[in-house]
Amino acid sequence: PNLKTEISLTLKILFSLFYNLFWILFTIYLFRDAKYFDGKRRIKIFGILTFILATIPFFLDLFLGGFMGRWIVITVYSPLISFVYGTWISLAKEWKEIK
C-alpha cells in the first residue's frame, strides 16, 4: 500500500477512536445523575445508545467504500469497548451508592 492510503487509514482510525471517546463521555454526562433509571436499565440504554452511535462511521465507510478489512475490526471492536467502559462506569456509580 502506498503512503496516501496509509495516511487515509490512519486518519480514519483516529476519527473512529475520537468519535467513540466523544460518545462515551457524552453518555456519561447524560446519565451522571440519572436517579430515575434503575441500574440495569441505565446500563442497557447506555450500551445500546453508544453502540448505535459508534457504528455510524462504519456505515458511512460502507457506503462510501474503503478498506473494509481493517475498518470492520475498528468499527466492530470500538463499540464493544465503548459498551464495556459505559457498563463499568455505571456499575462503579451504582456500587458507590449502595455502599
pLDDT band at 18 (very low <50, low <70, confident <90, very high): confident
Overall domain count for the chain = 1
What rounded mean pLDDT belongs to the chain?
67
pLDDT for 40-83, tens place per residue?
666 667 667 767 766 766 666 666 555 555 566 566 666 666 66
**Can you give the pTM of this predicted structure?**
0.38
Q: Which long-range contacts (CB under 8 A, 24 or more apart) does 10-15 make?
A: 12/57, 12/61, 12/66, 12/67, 12/71, 12/74, 13/74, 15/57
In which residue are the cell numbers 453508544 written?
50
Q: Do the beta carbons of residue 42 and residue 34 sit within 8 Å?
A: yes
Domain that holds residue 71: 3-30+37-98
